[in-house]
C-alpha cells in the first residue's frame, strides 16, 4: 500500500526589501497545489493573499519581485485564516491528514518561514506542516547531485516553465510538475525534514517507573482538518526568518 494518498505542494511568498532583511518577515501569498500520489494528476489549486501585520506596505522591490499588488494584500486575510481556509478545502476533498505529505523546493517554506511566523504571532498550524519533503533531495536521486534553483531544475528535467517566477502559485505548480516527473523516474518520495521532536529509543529491559511521574504541561492545540477559523495573538518568540530569494 502506498504511503501517501496526496501531496500538498506549497511555495510561500513573503515581505522583503532589496537591501537587508525585513523584520519580522511575513507571508503575503499562500498557495498550495494538491497532487494525487497514485496518478500524478494535479487535483486542485488553492491560493489566498495574506495581509501583513507588521509591514503592511509592500516595498517596491517586493511588488516587482513577486508581482503582488498592494491592493491584493490589503484585501487579504490573516495567516491563521489562510491556514484554516486551506484546512477546510482539504477536508471538503476528503483528504486524510495522515495520508498527506507536504512538498516544497528547499526547507525554507516549512522549517523557517511558516514556523517562525506562527511562533512569533502565536498561531497554531496543522501538524502536517511539521513534516515535509524537500524535493531537492529526491530530485538529486534522479538527476545527480549539484545545486540548482527551481527554474534550473525544471529545465534540467526537460519540462517547460509555466507562469511567472516568484508568483507563489506558479512556483508551486512548477514544483508539482517536477515532483510528478521525479516520481515517473521511479524515485520514492519520503519525508526529508521534520519539526516534530524525535522519540528517544527505548533500551531493552527498561521497566515502567514505580514512582508517579510529573505530567507534561498542556501545549498549544494542534489543528486538524476540520478546524474552523482562529485568530493569532502576540507571540513570545522572535521571528528570525529570511526570504531566501537567492537560493530558490
Return the CATH number at 97.
Answer: 3.30.420.10
Q: How many domains does the chain have?
A: 1
Higher pLDDT, 238 or 151: 151
With respect to residue 90, please indicate whether it lies within any of the assigned structural domains.
Answer: yes
Which residues does the annotation mark as catalytic? Answer: 13, 166
DSSP character at residue 223: B
**Taking all residues of the chain, what is their mean pLDDT, rounded to a whole number?**
84
With respect to residue 167, please indicate whether it lies within any of the assigned structural domains.
Answer: yes
Which pLDDT score, from 0 to 100, does residue 198 have? 60
Which pLDDT score, from 0 to 100, does residue 2 have? 67
Which residues, 6+ apart, have CB-to-CB distance to 123 below 8 Å?
Answer: 79, 80, 83, 117, 230, 232, 235
Which pLDDT score, from 0 to 100, does residue 194 have? 97
Give the ranges where the chain is alpha helix by DSSP (H). Answer: 60-66, 70-74, 79-92, 115-121, 136-143, 150-156, 168-184
With respect to residue 236, please indicate whether it lies within any of the assigned structural domains.
Answer: no
Cell representation of residue 44: 486542485
With respect to residue 208, please indicate whether it lies within any of the assigned structural domains.
Answer: no
Q: Are 76 and 204 in contact (CB under 8 A)?
A: no
Angle (CA) 226 94 50, round 5°: 55
With respect to residue 231, please indicate whether it lies within any of the assigned structural domains.
Answer: no
Which pLDDT score, from 0 to 100, does residue 20 have? 87
The residue segments making up the domain with residue 179 are 6-196
With respect to residue 207, please indicate whether it lies within any of the assigned structural domains.
Answer: no
pLDDT tops 60 at residue 210: no
pLDDT tops 80 at residue 105: yes
Q: Are 29 and 58 in contact (CB under 8 A)?
A: no
* 167-173 average pLDDT score: 98
Verify cis geometry, omega within 30 degrees of 0, for the bond prior to 24.
yes
With respect to residue 245, please indicate whether it lies within any of the assigned structural domains.
Answer: no
pLDDT tops 90 at residue 178: yes
With respect to residue 210, please indicate whether it lies within any of the assigned structural domains.
Answer: no
Higher pLDDT, 225 or 123: 123
Amino acid at each position: 500500500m502506498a504511503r501517501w494518498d496526496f501531496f500538498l505542494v506549497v511555495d510561500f511568498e513573503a515581505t522583503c526589501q532589496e537591501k537587508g532583511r525585513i523584520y519580522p518577515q511575513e507571508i503575503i501569498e499562500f498557495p498550495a497545489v494538491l497532487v494525487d500520489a497514485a496518478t500524478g494528476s494535479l487535483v486542485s489549486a488553492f491560493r489566498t493573499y495574506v495581509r501583513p501585520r507588521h509591514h503592511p506596505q509592500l516595498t517596491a522591490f517586493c511588488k516587482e519581485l513577486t508581482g503582488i499588488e498592494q491592493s491584493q494584500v490589503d484585501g487579504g486575510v490573516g495567516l491563521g485564516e489562510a491556514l484554516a481556509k486551506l484546512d477546510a478545502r482539504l477536508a471538503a476533498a476528503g483528504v486524510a491528514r495522515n495520508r498527506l505529505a507536504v512538498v516544497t523546493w528547499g526547507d525554507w517554506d516549512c522549517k523557517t518561514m511558516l514556523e517562525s511566523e506562527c511562533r512569533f504571532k502565536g498561531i497554531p498550524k496543522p501538524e502536517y506542516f511539521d513534516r515535509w519533503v524537500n524535493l531537492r533531495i529526491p530530485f538529486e536521486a534522479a538527476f545527480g547531485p549539484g545545486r540548482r534553483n527551481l527554474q534550473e531544475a525544471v529545465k534540467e528535467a526537460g519540462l517547460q516553465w509555466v507562469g511567472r517566477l516568484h508568483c507563489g502559485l506558479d512556483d508551486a505548480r512548477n514544483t508539482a510538475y517536477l515532483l510528478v516527473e521525479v516520481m515517473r523516474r521511479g524515485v520514492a518520495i519520503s519525508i526529508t525534514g521534520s519539526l516534530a521532536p524525535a522519540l528517544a529509543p527505548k533500551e531493552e529491559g527498561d521497566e515502567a517507573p514505580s514512582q508517579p511521574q510529573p505530567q507534561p504541561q498542556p501545549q498549544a492545540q494542534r489543528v486538524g482538518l476540520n478546524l474552523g477559523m482562529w485568530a493569532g495573538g502576540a507571540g513570545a518568540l522572535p521571528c528570525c526568518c529570511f526570504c531566501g530569494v537567492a537560493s530558490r
